[in-house]
Structure 1
Amino acid sequence: MGILWQVKSVGTHSFLPAAGIKVVCLEVDGRDLLGGSFPHRRGTWQLRSASQQAARMMKTTSPSFNLWESHSEKMASHKSKTGIKIHATKAAQESSPVDEYVTPGGYELEKILNRGSVAYTHVNEVWPNVYIGDEQTAKDKCNLKRLGITHILNAAEGTWNNVDTGAGYYGDMDMVYYGVVAEDVTTFNLSQYFFSAARFIEETLSNPQNKLLVHCVMGRSRSATLFLAYLMICENMTVVEAIEHAKSRRRIIPNWGFLKQLRELDVQLLEKQEEQKHGGEQLRGSVIASSF
């Protein structure tokens, strides 16, 4: 299955290669774009053991910790050494770097998701000019006009357990439509659309007058996953930061298969960053290629 990119031209603002085109269909595989360079990504996930830091500090800075000292010396210095250990451990905890990020496992990501969120509603603004919503929101033209939506990313294109709208549904509106044929099952490879969807979102937001609705059936799994990938690829967020941001604004529940794919994306982005650091390459603000 491929991406259906169907666009109703809205004038010179359209990013289509030629004006006057009503509908465009193409297939895109964004995985090939992974060869591009990636922006610096902040890290907040601290996994280094403070006790290991303390042990290392005491070994290198405390000459009194002599394994061969006499029994009487050990007894005499027991109290003072206890105090040294406590202070050394505390110092190690305080001096541990906070920017050493390691991608957490799927279980940890699920714990973050389940750690409280906002109440579920049909639609929420999750980023400036970006909304995540459900099928009801996508089909309510009056509400779309009220919100000022100009672009739609349907992460549930199709007929079975999906939202079968398409560009034709919005034929009487100035709407740019982008459909991804995806299933909300753990075995579905949604990652093949991470980069192409991120590019669509980025290009939409390049004009501050545009407003985007990203939706699926419930607006919690497929659409949320594509938005999280955008935050990671284009906004320099780690998977942890992206989830924390999104769930503070909408109740999202990506299935565990999608979480695994986001985790793999996080690992790839980190590896790419390390390659760039060692290679001395210039980091860019976006990994989206200029053209497919």
Structure 2
Amino acid sequence: MAAVNVLLSKDPEGSGIGTVETPSVKELEQLLNTGRPSCNHADEVWPNLFLGDLAAEFIHKALTTPGAKILVHCAVGISRSSSLVLAYLMIFHHLSLVEAIQTVKEHRWIHPNRGFLKQLRNLDIQLRGHEAKKKETHNDQQN
């Protein structure tokens, strides 16, 4: 699998803390164009989660039910449904967008459209900012 270059930059708020930048949409598309093209009617892309249009909260609630399995589907199963699964992994399993893409691509070929990639990228930036603030608060409480 091809590596994606991730840049280290200063925090936009000027705190001087180094953060990992979310790759550009073009870099994300390059990542999506790597790996094996596998597209079955239902592929297990996370334990008991099958990619095949549901919200991340619904997916999370369903997967916390003992014995539950989820099939997330759309017309072709490579853009809309994969975007929902990526968002779920980012929100509830704290994966970065790149980690979520790599995880799902290990099991199924996906290719969210450019509009969904932009939204996922914005979500990644938002979640990373939230995680950085949580860590900063935790560090302040320990000092």
TM-score, normalization by structure 1: 0.41
Alignment of 1:47 with 2:7, yes or no, is yes
Shift of 1:280: 2.9
Q: Any unmatched runs of 5+ in structure 2?
A: 10-17
Q: Any unmatched runs of 5+ in structure 1?
A: 1-43, 50-98, 134-154, 156-179, 181-196, 282-292
Shift of 1:111: 0.3
2:99 to 236, 241, 246: 241
Divergent runs of 4+, >4 A: none
1:107 to 16, 22, 26: 26
CA contact (8 A) 2:6 2:22 kept: no
Question: Which structure has more RCO (C-alpha within 8 Å, separation ≥ 6)?
Answer: 1
Secondary structure, counterpart of 1:254 in structure 2: coil
Output the CA distance in 1 between the equivalents of 2:112 and 2:19.
Answer: 26
CA contact (8 A) 2:6 2:23 kept: no
1:255 to 101, 113, 126: 113
Secondary structure, counterpart of 2:112 in structure 1: coil
> Compared with structure 1, are the counterparts of its residues 220 and 103 closer, same or farther at alpha carbon in structure 2 (3 Å cutoff)?
same
- The residue identity in structure 2 corresponding to 1:263 is R
1:1-292 to 2 correspondences below 5 Å: 46-48=6-8, 100-133=19-52, 155=53, 197-280=55-138
Shift of 1:118: 3.6
Shift of 1:102: 1.3
- The residue identity in structure 2 corresponding to 1:216 is C
- The residue identity in structure 2 corresponding to 1:210 is A
Secondary structure, counterpart of 2:82 in structure 1: helix
CA contact (8 A) 1:45 1:100 kept: no
User: Which structure has the larger Rg over C-alpha atoms?
Assistant: 1
Output the CA distance in 1 between the equivalents of 2:131 and 2:42.
Answer: 34
C-alpha RMSD over aligned residues: 2.2
Q: What is the aligned length?
A: 128
Secondary structure, counterpart of 2:29 in structure 1: helix
CA contact (8 A) 1:198 1:226 kept: yes
Output the CA distance in 2 between the equivalents of 1:263 and 1:269.
Answer: 10
- The residue identity in structure 1 corresponding to 2:25 is G
